[in-house]
Amino acid sequence: MKYADEYRDKELAMGLARAIRAKAESGKAYRFMEFCGGHTHAIARYGLEDMLPDNVRMIHGPGCPVCVLPAGRIDMAIALAERSEVVLCVYGDLMRVPGSRGSSLLRAKARGADVRMVYSTLDAIALAEQNPGREVVFFAIGFETTTPPTAVMVRLADKKQLANFSVFCNHVLTPPAMRAILDSENPVEIDGFVGPAHVSTVIGTAPYEPFARDDGKPVVIAGFEPLDMMQAILMLIEQVNDGRHEVENQYRRAVTGSGNRRAIDEMAEIFELRDQFEWRGLGSIPSSALKLRPAFAHLDAELRFAMSELVVADNPACECPAILRGVKKPVDCRLFGNACTPETPVGSCMVSSEGACAAHWTYGRFRDHQRRLAS
């Protein structure tokens, strides 16, 4: 497989593992947070933590867009979908994300709500054109990666003058979430970040400079393949050993310093910052999410349907909030693998394949079993 197998070469991976072991100084701890859910999935899938020395630890961050959406926004979407005139368009992962009291869009659909899974923003546009007598709403989520397609969709809907189409906007931003992690009252100890891949193809490397310059946290942007991750970890260890804290770009085949200018400009024309936005696990973070600019207010579902902001408490037995902050691991949750599985998710981290709990359930729990047998 061209451009994939090259980054999964076993011998090269073993070589990088030897280099990491040689560079990691005994008596020193190296704690790196991978912010992106895709990285969390790659680490679990390829067993990368088993290739690292004991003093190099990976901490899963809040980089899964499905995981960080709070229960209140899910409840708002369910209430919207239960309106008789509404067709709610969502991506597949969102269907099973828990709202409050065990609710979900999938259960709302079972009760009769018109919730439809779509594969692209254009699918939602097509539904609106095919159903002129219904109100078609697109449930938009994601970091900077999925925001440009939503921006293109909004512009297209505006151009087509679709009177029965609107967007429930839940797009969030990466740098404010990283800031919230570092500024939290009881932050997890982090010696550096593996910067996200897809997000960085859009925003570039420049937005991470404050974390290196002001907080002394090195950042290495990495691709999703196992060799990408291993090389990024080696680069972070070298920075820590050298006392450097810089933004480095391991994923140079896709990421530039200034990012994708066309996508950035398109987002800026369609969206503006919200004053505050609630995140699952991180609380309310200022200037961390987007809403439609006034010029596109006629396409804003929150305004069209007079939606009220809901803030509801998470299930107190679920450790997703602590896992999203990197404070706990999936196995620290007493629900993991018992009440909470991919078939019966209690928390959002078990829903998406990029969630820390789902990744550990799919790959990591077998290694845990082997370790227990070995001990």
SS3 319: coil
Average pLDDT over residues 254-275: 97
- 375 pLDDT above the threshold of 80: no
1 — pLDDT class (breaks 50, 70, 90): low
Note the Cα 276 to chain centre separation in Å: 18
State pLDDT tens for residues 40-58. Answer: 999 999 999 999 999 999 9
In 3D space, the residue among 80, 199, 110 whose CA is nearest the CA of residue 148 turns out to be 199
- 173 pLDDT above the threshold of 80: yes
4 CB burial (10 A radius; 0-12, 13-18, 19+): exposed
State pLDDT tens for residues 124-170. Answer: 999 999 999 999 999 999 999 999 999 999 999 999 999 999 999 99
- 189 pLDDT above the threshold of 70: yes
| Helix segments in the chain, DSSP class H | 10-23, 37-45, 65-68, 71-81, 105-110, 121-130, 147-160, 174-183, 198-203, 209-213, 226-242, 261-270, 301-304, 320-324, 356-359, 365-374
For residues 239 and 233, give the distance between their C-alpha atoms in angstroms, rounded to a whole number: 10
SS3 255: coil
119 CB burial (10 A radius; 0-12, 13-18, 19+): exposed
Q: What is the pTM of this model?
A: 0.93
315 — pLDDT class (breaks 50, 70, 90): confident
